[in-house]
Amino acid sequence: MVSWSGHIVPAIVTVALWFVATGLIAWADNRERASFSRSLMVGSLAGIGGLVVILIASLSVEVWAVYLAFIGALMVWGWHELAFLTGAAAGPRRGLADPGLTGLARFRQAAATVMHHEVALAVTGLLLVSLSWDVPNQIGAMVFVLMFAMRLISKINLFIGVPNTSAEMLPEHLSYLKSYFGPRRMTLTLALSIAGIAAAAAWFAGLALAAPAGSAAMVGASLMATLALLGVLEHLFLALPFRDGMLWGWALPQRRPAGARRERP
């Protein structure tokens, strides 16, 4: 039986935090570049605070601790996303793709644009897993690892090629990343990605339905299931003609055409 407190509320909380957090990060990394240092300082404090929150919450199996660990993981994730989208931690390559490159050479060049970010995410994920290995509440590490896996899958699909490469939320200083996207096409990789993440969502949903009513296990599994469903939605956006700005237009500035942009000394 579906529980309001054990299934519905966690789903609402996950969707609300996903929507607001994504919008805030889009707003911060699309502002003037002079504001990036302040944004990164605030983001770093939030990320460190999120890590502390995860460590504190990991010692308890109460429902409040599950929510706290979930929020802490999003804070740490948001820190990494802000660092990437402001360009502070992207990769050693900061230019357009060389035309004509194919195969492994193209992959190496594309990987060099995001290498620092991916390594930072992997190291953080390993840190959280190691810190959460023997603790009663492992939601913080699970949330971060799930988000890392889904983000890595989406980047691979963009490199191979997807039907919809709309990237309205990508800031202008990272627009060169679009040159590494593959051709607009539907691939088996994208279809399998959607199916795989949907299967993970179904597995977590099954755990949530089987858990004792009102328990921390039920809430935690519901949070993970909803997060995975959002991952399915984001990958469906890659397959369908959907504009990012339809959801987060409120967070994006009105960009002027390139020809109308003022040149700064």
Q: What is the 3-state secondary structure (H, E, C) of the chain?
A: CCCHHHHHHHHHHHHHHHHHHHHHHHHHHCCCHHHHHHHHHHHHHHHHHHHHHHHHHCCCCCHHHHHHHHHHHHHHHHHHHHHHHCCCCCCCCCCCCCCCCCHHHHHHHHHHHHHHHHHHHHHHHHHHHHHCCCCCCCHHHHHHHHHHHHHHHHHHHHHHCCCCCCCCCCCHHHHHHHHHCCCCCCCHHHHHHHHHHHHHHHHHHHHHHHCCCCCHHHHHHHHHHHHHHHHHHHHHHHHCCCCCHHHHHHHCCCCCCHHHCCCCC
Q: What is the pLDDT of residue 247?
A: 78
Q: What is the pLDDT of residue 242?
A: 79
**Cβ pair 189, 160 in contact under 8 A:** yes
Encoding tokens for residue 226? Answer: 């909803």
Among 68, 71, 43, 47, which residue's Cα sits nearest to residue 58? 68
Q: What is the pLDDT of residue 21?
A: 92
**Cβ pair 258, 174 in contact under 8 A:** no
Calculate Rg over the CA atoms of the chain.
Answer: 19
- For residue 187, is it left (φ>0), alpha (ψ between -120 and 50) or beta? beta
Taking the chain (265 residues) in runs of 10, the rounded mean pLDDT of each run is: 90 95 89 91 96 96 97 96 93 93 94 96 97 94 97 96 83 92 95 98 97 94 98 94 76 55 39
Q: What is the pLDDT of residue 231?
A: 96
**Cβ pair 160, 138 in contact under 8 A:** no
Buried b (16+ CB within 10 A) or exposed e, 170-203: bbeebebbeebbbeeeebebbeebbebbbebbee
Q: What is the pLDDT of residue 245?
A: 67
Q: How far is Cα 182 from Cα 177, in angstroms, rounded to an integer? A: 11
| Furthest C-alpha separation in the chain | 64
**Cβ pair 118, 126 in contact under 8 A:** no
Q: What is the pLDDT of residue 257?
A: 44
Q: Quick one: 98 exposed, middle or buried, by C-beta within 10 A (0-12, 13-18, 19+)?
A: exposed
**Cβ pair 82, 169 in contact under 8 A:** no
Whose tokens are 């590494």? That residue is 180
Q: How many CA atoms lie within 13 A of 4 on its CB side?
A: 0
Is pTM, for the whole model, over 0.75? yes
Q: How far is Cα 115 from Cα 111, in angstroms, rounded to an integer? A: 6
